[in-house]
Amino acid sequence: MKRLLLDTHVVLWIAENSLQLKDDHRKLIADESVEKFVSIASVWEIAIKLGRENFHLEGGLGGFLQMIKANNLPILPIKEEYLHLIPTMPKFHKDPFDRLLIAAAKAENMTLMTIDANIHKYAVSWFW
């Protein structure tokens, strides 16, 4: 069974039913044989962004969490193992949330679903 960690923007696009999600993305997300996860880091990232004036999300953080629950997406906690990987990672990506997602995907042997072109520079499975 494939295990998929969704990047924050993918979760937002699911919520918005965005055209950014192509048919192959939607099929993979809908595939019941694929385990899909959202990192607590993504929830934290959204909480921080909601504190900025230029970021709005219908329903706020509660709505975001409700959408995650409604889509049966388990929230992956941050494990100490991920944190130990981060200092050893190359510095291709400076965003701390993305670095944490990369470490989690690597540690959990998951595929990271992301449009982020910097992800392919890491030794981690990714899909877009």
DSSP string, 25-51: HHHHHH-TTSEEEEEHHHHHHHHHHHT
| pLDDT tens string 46-55 | 999 998 888 8
Q: Which amino acid is at 7?
A: D
pTM of the model: 0.91
Q: Are 38 and 66 in contact (CB under 8 A)?
A: no
Q: What is the CATH number of the domain that holds 36?
A: 3.40.50.1010
**Domain containing residue 61:** 3-127
CA angle 92, 84, 75 (to 5 degrees): 85
Place of tokens 């906690």: 77
Q: What is the pLDDT of residues 78-116, one digit of tens each?
A: 999 999 999 999 988 788 999 999 999 999 999 999 999
Q: Cβ distance 76 to 90 under 8 Å?
A: no
Residue 21 tokens read as: 């999600």
Contact assessment for residue 29 and residue 14, using Cβ atoms and an 8 Å cutoff: yes
Domain count, the chain: 1
